[in-house]
C-alpha cells in the first residue's frame, strides 16, 4: 500500500497513458474514416461524431445527394469531408470507395460499415429475391467492405473497423417479421467476431454496434411504422433510441482507448434485449 502511494505520480492511471487524459485519447485528429450509409440516419450521426472528434470523413452512400448534404453539414463544422457514391453490394463500388479514400488521404484508419436494409415479410412468404437483396447488402456488402478496407489496414498495421449489426442479431423483436434481416445481422456479428480475432495481432480491431430501435427514416417505412407503438412497450427505457444515443460508441470504438476490445458487439437498446 505504502509503495503504491509512493509511486502514484508514476502511475498511468494517475498521469494518463502517455500523459494523455481519457478525453484526449478519444480524439481522432489525423485519422481517416469512412461511413457507409452516411447520407442519413445512424450513418449521418456516425459521420458527425467522427468528424467532431477530429477525423477526416468520407461519407459513402448510394444516394449521392444525401451524401453531399452531409458533407456540407460537416464543412460547416470545419471537418474535412468528401462524398462518395457507392452501392456496397457491388464489389467494384466497394473497391473504388477504398481506392478513392486512399488516393485522397493516403490511408484508412476507421471503417464504419453501417449501410443496411430491412425487409418485413412473414417467413413463409419471404422470397429468395428478398433474402438475396437483404444478404447482399447487410452481410455480403459488409464483408466486402471489411475485406477491402481490411487489406489497407493490414498493410498499415493499424485499423478500426466498426460494423453496424442490430439488436435483432440477439433477439427476435416482436412482432416484426424479418427473417432475412435478423439472420443477416446475426451473420454480421459472427463476421465481426471472426475478423476481430483473426486480425488483432496485425493491429486491426473489428467490433460492431447493435442498436435497438432507432428513430430514423428506416423505421418510418410503410410496413414498419404501424409497429412503433407496440415496440415502445417492449423497451425498458420507455422510448426509441435517437441517433445521438449511439454517437459516443462509435468514437469509443474508433479511438485508441478501445484497443483491448475486438470481435465484440456493443449493444445499445435501452434494455430491450434483456426483457
Ligand atoms: P436508413 O434507411 O435511415 O439509412 C440508410 C442509408 O444507407 C441511406 O442513406 C441509404 O441510401 C444507404 N444505403 C442503403 N443501402 C445501401 C447500399 N447498398 N450502399 C450504400 N448505401 C446504402 O437506415 P438507419 O436506420 O440509419 O440504419 C443504418 C444501419 O443501422 C443499418 O445497417 C440498419 O440495419 C442498422 N440498424 C438500424 C436500426 C433502426 O432501428 N433504425 C436498428 C438496428 C440496426
Of the candidates 34, 158, 181, 252, the residue annotated as catalytic is: 181
Query: Of the candidates 185, 107, 104, 195, which has an alpha carbon nearest to the alpha carbon of residue 153?
Result: 107
pLDDT of residue 101: 99
pLDDT of residue 8: 76
* Residue in the block written with cell 456479428: 189
Nearest CA to ligand 1 atom 11: 63
Segment 167-192, tens digit of pLDDT: 999 999 887 789 999 999 999 999 99
Q: Binning pLDDT at 50, 70 and 90, where does residue 160 land?
A: very high
Angle between helices 247-254 and 41-52 (to 10 degrees): 50
Strand-pair partners of 160 = 110, 205
Site to probe by mutation for ligand 1, drawn from 34, 36, 42 as the one with most ligand atoms within 8 Å of Cβ, is 42
Mean pLDDT along residues 101-115: 98
1 has pLDDT over 60: no
The residues near 32 (Cβ < 8 Å, ≥ 6 apart) are 55, 56, 58, 101, 105, 106, 107, 108, 109, 110
**Three state DSSP letters for 78-106:** CCCEEEEECCCCCHHHHHHHHHHHHHHHC
ipTM of the complex in this document? 0.99
Mean pLDDT along residues 90-106: 98
SS3 (DSSP) at 265: strand
pLDDT of residue 159: 98
SS3 (DSSP) at 110: strand
Cell numbers linked to 192: 465481426
Give the whole-angstrom CA distance, residue 274 versus residue 235. 9
Query: Of the candidates 218, 256, 207, 248, which has an alpha carbon nearest to the alpha carbon of residue 46?
Result: 248
Query: Closest ligand 1 atom to the C-alpha of 41?
Result: 26
Give the whole-angstrom CA distance, residue 158 versus residue 192. 16
The residue length of the chain stands at 275
161 with 205: CB under 8 angstroms? Answer: yes
What's the whole-model pTM score? 0.96
Pocket of ligand 1 (CB under 6 A): 36-37, 39-43, 61-63, 66, 86-89, 114-118, 137, 141, 164, 166, 211, 213-214, 216-219
Which helix (H) or strand (E) segment is 61 a member of?
A: strand 56-61
Query: Closest ligand 1 atom to the C-alpha of 240?
Result: 40
Cell numbers linked to 105: 488521404
Annotated active-site residue 181? The verdict is yes
Amino acid at each position: 500500500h505504502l509503495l503504491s502511494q509512493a509511486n502514484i505520480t508514476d502511475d498511468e492511471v494517475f498521469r494518463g497513458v502517455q500523459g494523455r487524459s481519457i478525453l484526449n485519447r478519444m480524439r481522432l485528429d489525423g485519422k481517416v474514416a469512412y461511413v457507409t450509409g452516411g447520407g442519413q440516419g445512424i450513418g449521418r450521426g456516425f459521420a458527425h461524431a467522427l468528424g467532431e472528434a477530429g477525423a477526416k470523413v468520407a461519407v459513402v452512400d448510394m444516394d449521392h445527394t444525401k451524401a453531399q448534404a452531409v458533407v456540407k453539414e460537416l464543412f460547416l463544422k470545419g471537418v474535412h469531408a468528401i462524398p462518395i457514391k457507392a452501392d456496397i453490394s457491388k464489389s467494384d463500388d466497394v473497391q473504388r470507395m477504398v481506392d478513392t479514400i486512399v488516393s485522397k488521404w493516403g490511408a484508412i484508419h476507421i471503417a464504419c460499415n453501417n449501410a443496411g436494409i430491412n425487409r418485413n415479410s412473414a417467413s413463409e412468404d419471404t422470397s429468395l429475391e428478398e433474402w438475396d437483396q437483404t444478404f447482399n447488402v447487410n452481410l455480403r456488402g459488409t464483408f466486402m467492405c471489411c475485406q477491402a478496407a481490411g487489406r489497407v489496414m493490414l498493410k498499415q498495421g493499424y485499423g478500426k473497423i466498426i460494423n453496424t449489426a442490430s439488436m435483432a442479431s440477439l433477439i427476435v423483436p416482436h412482432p416484426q417479421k424479418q427473417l432475412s434481416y435478423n439472420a443477416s445481422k446475426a451473420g454480421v456479428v459472427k463476421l465481426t467476431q471472426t475478423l476481430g480475432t483473426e486480425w488483432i495481432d496485425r493491429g486491426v480491431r473489428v467490433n460492431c454496434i447493435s442498436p435497438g430501435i432507432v428513430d430514423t427514416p428506416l423505421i418510418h417505412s410503410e410496413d414498419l411504422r404501424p409497429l412503433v407503438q407496440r415496440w415502445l412497450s417492449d423497451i425498458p427505457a420507455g422510448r426509441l433510441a435517437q441517433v445521438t444515443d449511439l454517437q459516443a460508441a462509435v468514437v469509443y470504438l474508433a479511438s485508441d482507448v478501445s484497443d483491448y476490445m475486438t470481435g465484440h458487439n456493443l449493444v445499445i437498446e435501452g434494455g430491450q434485449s434483456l426483457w
